Amino acid sequence: MAGHYREQYIRFRYDGYSFGKGEITLNGEEALAYTRMRKEDRNFDFGRQNRQRQVIEGIINKGSPHEIRRYVQSVENNVKTNLTFNYQWDIQSGFKEARSKVIQHELKCDGTK
């Protein structure tokens, strides 16, 4: 994500970072900021969930356990699980093909209780 962007190429800014349109490369801190923004997203939490999914898919697509371990370590203070890294790796390996078949349903509402 090195370089400067003109304003029209900025999709959004959050937590001191600017995120451009199209495919971008993020380090661990940038990925956290990218996945946390919600209030300025016109899709609110659904937009945030989509960005979280994009980051997870990007990490999985990178492929090597070493690279994935590095990304996991950069966010481990924000995630609590009793699953070992090796077990998580086994899960992702077993479901690698299934991730392209995920169907998401969104319930439309007006935000009232």
pLDDT digits (tens, 9 = 90+) for 63-84: 677 777 776 677 677 777 888 8
Q: Is the pLDDT of residue 58 over 50?
A: yes
Task: Give the total number of structural domains in the chain.
Answer: 1
**Residue keyed to tokens 């390996």:** 93
Is the Cβ–Cβ distance between 22 and 9 less than 8 Å? no
Full residue range of the structural domain in which residue 61 is found: 7-101
Long-range contacts of 78-82 (CB under 8 A, 24+ apart): 78/32
- In the chain, the DSSP E strands lie at 10-14, 17-20
The verdict on residue 81 lying in a domain is yes
Instruction: Extract the tokens encoding 22.
Output: 């199209």
Instruction: Report residue 9's pLDDT band, with 50, 70 and 90 as the boundaries.
Output: low
- Alpha carbon distance 18, 92 (integer Å): 30
The verdict on residue 43 lying in a domain is yes
